[in-house]
C-alpha cells in the first residue's frame, strides 16, 4: 500500500536527519479538543465570537468583554484537554536530539504541556499574560483561576491583563528565530496546518531540507516542494513511527 511505503520513507527520513524543524497548526490540537478557529466548526465560522471584536487590540482597549468571554470559555477547556500522540511524538523527537525547534501557530500551550522545550509560538500563547499598563507578567495558574472566577483579568495596578496571544494589528512573534532554524533544517515537518496563514506559512519555502506534510486536506504548497504528503489525521501516522 502506498501509505505504508510512505511511512517507511518518512521513518528513514527521520532516522537520517539530525536537524528536524517542525511546524504545527490547529490540526494537531483538534484531537485534543481545541477547536480549529478557521475550520468548519471553528469559532470564526460558527459565529460564537466576532473575531474583530474578540482579537482586535484596539477593540480590546475599548471593550475587553468580548475577548474575556472567549478567554473564559477557552480556559475552561483545560479541565479536559490533554496532549495528543502528535504533541508527545514531537516532544520525544526533541528529547532524542533530532528535533531542534518547534514552530507553532497554536496558542494552546499543549506542546509545552507535552514536554517540548524549544517552542516558538508565532501567534503567541494563552498560557502567559501581561498587564497592558504596567507590563506585569502573569502565569497560567493565575490566568485560569481569575478568568474562571470573575470573568476578566485585572492587574494589581487596575490595568487590563491580556494573554500573550497575537491579536489582529499585532506583529507575529519569533519569526526571525523561526527563519534561522528553518534554513538549517534537513527535515521540515508540517503537522496539522494547511499553510494558509502568512507569514509563517512561507517558512517551508526557506528550507533546503525535505518537507513532509501530515495534514487532513489540501496545503498551500507547490507539489515540487513536498517530499511526502499524508492527507490523514496525525495520530494514525505517528503511531506507526519509531522514535
Asked if 130 is an active-site residue, the reply is no
Closer Cβ to Zn ion, 12 or 136, answer by number = 136
- Judged by CB under 5 A, the residue of 71, 110, 131, 234 near Zn ion is 131
Q: What's the closest the beta carbon of residue 64 comes to Zn ion, in angstroms? A: 14
What is the distance between the alpha carbons of residues 214 and 167, in angstroms, rounded to a whole number?
Answer: 27
- The catalytically annotated residue of 87, 111, 123, 130 is 123
**Sequence-separated contacts (24+) of 154-160 with Cβ below 8 Å:** 155/131, 157/131, 157/133, 158/133, 159/131, 159/132, 159/133, 159/134, 160/60, 160/64, 160/131, 160/132, 160/133
Contact between 134 and Zn ion by CB under 5 A: the answer reads: yes
86 contacts 23 by C-beta, under 8 angstroms: no
123 or 162: whose CB is closer to Zn ion? 162
Q: Is residue 8 involved in binding Zn ion (CB under 5 A)? A: no
Alpha-carbon span 95 to 243, nearest angstrom: 10
Output DSSP code: residue 36.
P
Report the 10 Å Cβ neighbour count for 215. Answer: 22
The whole-angstrom separation of Cα 190 and Cα 188 is: 6
**Cβ closest to Zn ion, residue 136 vs residue 145:** 136
> CB of residue 119 vs Zn ion: minimum separation in angstroms?
26
Residue 132 or 216: the one with the smaller Cβ distance to Zn ion is 132
Task: Single out the residue of 223, 240, 224 nearest to residue 232, CA to CA.
Answer: 240
Q: H or E segment at 66?
A: helix 65-77
| 91-99, 126-134, 139-147, 226-234 -> range binding Zn ion (CB under 5 A) | 126-134
Stretch that binds Zn ion, among 11-19, 95-103, 151-159, 162-170 (CB under 5 A): 151-159
Q: Does 150 bind Zn ion (CB under 5 A)?
A: no
Among 19, 159, 170, 241, binds Zn ion (CB under 5 A): 159
Give the sheet arrangement for strand 124-131, strand by strand: 137-139, 124-131, 161-165
Residue 10 or 153 having the CB closest to Zn ion: 153
Q: Is 155 in the site for Zn ion (CB under 5 A)?
A: yes
Using CB under 5 A as the binding rule, whether residue 234 contacts Zn ion is answered as no
Name the site residues for Zn ion (rule: CB under 5 A): 131, 133-134, 136, 155, 157, 159
Amino acid at each position: 500500500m502506498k501509505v505504508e511505503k510512505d511511512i517507511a520513507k518518512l521513518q528513514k527520513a527521520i532516522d537520517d536527519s539530525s536537524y528536524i524543524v517542525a511546524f504545527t497548526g490547529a490540526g494537531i490540537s483538534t484531537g485534543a479538543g481545541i477547536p480549529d478557529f478557521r475550520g468548519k466548526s471553528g469559532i470564526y465560522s460558527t459565529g460564537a465570537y466576532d473575531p474583530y471584536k474578540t482579537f482586535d487590540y484596539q477593540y480590546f482597549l475599548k471593550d475587553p468583554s468580548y475577548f474575556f468571554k472567549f478567554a473564559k470559555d477557552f480556559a475552561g477547556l483545560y479541565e479536559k484537554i490533554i496532549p495528543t500522540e502528535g504533541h508527545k511524538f514531537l516532544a520525544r523527537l526533541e528529547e532524542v536530539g533530532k528535533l531542534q525547534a518547534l514552530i507553532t501557530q497554536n496558542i494552546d500551550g499543549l506542546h509545552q504541556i507535552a514536554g517540548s522545550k524549544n517552542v516558538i509560538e508565532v501567534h503567541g500563547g494563552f498560557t502567559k499574560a501581561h498587564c497592558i499598563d504596567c507590563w506585569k507578567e502573569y502565569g497560567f495558574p493565575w490566568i485560569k483561576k481569575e478568568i474562571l472566577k470573575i470573568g476578566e483579568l485585572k492587574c494589581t495596578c487596575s490595568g487590563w491583563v491580556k494573554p500573550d496571544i497575537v491579536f489582529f494589528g499585532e506583529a507575529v512573534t519569533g519569526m526571525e528565530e523561526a527563519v534561522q532554524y528553518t534554513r538549517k533544517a534537513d527535515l521540515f515537518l508540517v503537522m496539522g496546518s494547511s499553510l494558509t496563514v502568512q507569514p509563517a506559512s512561507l517558512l517551508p519555502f526557506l528550507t533546503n531540507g525535505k518537507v513532509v506534510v501530515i495534514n487532513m486536506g489540501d496545503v498551500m504548497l507547490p507539489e515540487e516542494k513536498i517530499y511526502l504528503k499524508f492527507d490523514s489525521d496525525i495520530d494514525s501516522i505517528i503511531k506507526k513511527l519509531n522514535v
